[in-house]
Structure 1
C-alpha cells in the first residue's frame, strides 16, 4: 500500500500498530486547516489498511496538542458566518472520522491537551495520559464554545462534569481526568510509551471484526432504555456474530489450544 505524505504528520508503524504523530512541536501541535485536513486523510488511509490493527494518536515534543492555532483563530475571527460554518464542518468531519474508525484507537497524551486537544483525546476509543498531562475545554475564555468537540467530551465524562468544564474553562490534571473518565490510565512520563504499547498489544490479540462489532454495539445501545427492543437487538447482534467465520474460528482455536486466524 502506498503511504501518503503529510505536511503536519508523521506515520510510524510497528508491526500491526500505526502511530499518527502530530508533528508541529514548535507550536505545541496546535492545529490549523492543514493539520485538520491531514488528520482526516490519515484516518481514512489507516482505516482502509488491513495491515493496521490499532491506531495510536500522539504529539511530538512536550505537548499532545495545545488546541487551536492562534493564527488560525485570528483568521477565523474575520470569516463570514458561511466561511466559519465550512471551517467548523471540516473540523467536525475530522473528529468524526477519528471517532468512527473501524479499529481501536488510543490517545497517547503528554503535557497540554487543551481545547480541541481535549477533544482529540476524547474522540479516541481509549486514552492513556502521562502524569504531567493537563486538560481544559478553554473555549469560553475566548468568547466561544466547545461545540464541535462536545459530543466526544460528553461521551467520555457525562453531562455533569461537562457542565463544569465547559463553563469554567478550568485546567485539570491527569488524575482528575482519570477520575471523571476522560482518560483510562495515568502513568509516569517515562512509562507512557510502554503503557501504550502494552494496551496496543492486548488489542491486537483480539478479533478485529468482533472489535468493530463491539464498537458498533456501544454506539447503538448507549443511553437507550433496557426494553423489549434493546433486548431483541442485542440477541440478534450476538446471534449474527456467532455465525461468522471469525467467531467460529475463535471458539475452535480456544478449544483446540491453537492460534486463531487473525493472529497468524
Structure 2
C-alpha cells in the first residue's frame, strides 16, 4: 500500500517548505486511523524542526478530503453499549481532535489548498490553516448531521473559524456550498481562477515567506492562547514575546534590512 501521507521538502529562503499530501485517492483522501497517525507524526516532527518555514497541506487526485473514515467504527454502528462499559469509540474520535489541536499549534505557517471536495473532517483540517486557498470548482460541506452523526471534534474549530452564527448553518444543515460561499463565510481566504491555482499558491508562499520564522511561531502561540487565557495574563505573555523578539536576532536583521531597503534573509522572492 502506498503511503497515505506524502511529504515533499523543498528549500525556501534560508530554510525549508514542506508539502503534505493526503494520498488515498481511492477513498477521496478519507481520514483513516493510519492517515491521522501519519499527520500527527508529521506535526510532532515539524514542531521540533526550527529550519522548517511553512507547510502546504493538500490532497491527491484532484480532491482535498472526504472527511473521517468510518472503517474503525463500522462494527459499533447502531449497537448500544453495555451499561457501565467505557466506550472505545471515545478515544478513537478524540485522537482526531488531538490532530486538529496539534495542527493549530504548528509553529510554522500552514496553507491549505483545496481542489474538489472538502467534507466533514476535512473542514476541520481547513479550520486549522493560516490561509485556505481553493480552486474555483471546490465544494465544501459538514454532512454529519444528515447521516445521524454528531460532528463532535470539528465543531469547536468550525466555531473558532466562522463564528457561532455561520457555524450553526454549516454544522446543523449539512448543506453543500461552493468556493464562493465558503469565501464569503470565511472558511476560504482566496479562490483561484481556473488554471491559476499553482500561481496563486506560489504568491501565497512568497507572501507568508516575508515573515520571520521565530516571530511567526511566537505570534501563533499568542493567537492560540487567546481562546484559553484571561486577557491580563495573555497581555503579560504578549509583552514578554515582544521583548524577546526585539532582543533577538530577527529584529536586528529585519530592521537593518528595512533601513537599507533590502530583503531580510528569510524573505522568499517571487
TM-score bin (small chain): 0.7 to 0.9
CA distance in 1, matches of 2:36, 2:149: 19
Quick check: 2:225–2:234 contact (8 Å CA) kept in 1?
A: no
Please list, as runs of the form range in 1=range in 2, the aligned pairs for 1:33-48 lying within 5 A after superposition. Answer: 33-48=33-48
Q: Which ranges of structure 2 fall in alignment gaps of 5 or more residues?
A: none
Correspondence 1:178 to 2:174: no
Quick check: 2:22–2:58 contact (8 Å CA) kept in 1?
A: yes
CA distance in 1, matches of 2:191, 2:263: 32
Judging changes above 3 Å, is the alpha-carbon distance between structure 1 residues 246 and 255 closer, same or farther for their aligned structure 2 residues? same
CA distance in 1, matches of 2:150, 2:4: 26
Quick check: 2:66–2:120 contact (8 Å CA) kept in 1?
A: yes
The match for 2:205 is 200
Judging changes above 3 Å, is the alpha-carbon distance between structure 1 residues 254 and 79 closer, same or farther for their aligned structure 2 residues? farther
The number of aligned residues is 259
Per-residue CA shift, 1:67-103, capped at 9, x if unaligned? 1224344245369653111101211111111111000
Quick check: 2:105–2:221 contact (8 Å CA) kept in 1?
A: no
1:82 aligns with one of 87, 97, 108: 87
- Classify the secondary structure of the residue corresponding to 1:162: helix
TM-score (norm 2): 0.86
- Which gives a bigger RCO, structure 1 or 2 (Cα 8 Å, sep 6+)? 2
The match for 2:252 is 248
Judging changes above 3 Å, is the alpha-carbon distance between structure 1 residues 228 and 69 closer, same or farther for their aligned structure 2 residues? closer
Q: Quote how far apart the aligned CAs of 1:219 are.
A: 2.4
Please list, as runs of the form range in 1=range in 2, the aligned pairs for 1:79-158 lying within 5 A after superposition. Answer: 82-158=87-163
Correspondence 1:10 to 2:6: yes
The match for 1:3 is none
Judging changes above 3 Å, is the alpha-carbon distance between structure 1 residues 42 and 82 closer, same or farther for their aligned structure 2 residues? same
Higher helix share: 1
Q: Quote how far apart the aligned CAs of 1:167 are.
A: 0.8
Q: Which ranges of structure 1 fall in alignment gaps of 5 or more residues?
A: 1-5
Per-residue CA shift, 1:173-198, capped at 9, x if unaligned? 11000001001000124211221121
Quick check: 1:110–1:189 contact (8 Å CA) kept in 2?
A: no
Quick check: 1:10–1:21 contact (8 Å CA) kept in 2?
A: yes
- Classify the secondary structure of the residue corresponding to 2:266: helix
Q: Quote how far apart the aligned CAs of 1:66 are.
A: 0.7
- Classify the secondary structure of the residue corresponding to 1:176: helix
User: What is the root-mean-square deviation in Å for CA atoms of aligned residues?
Assistant: 2.5
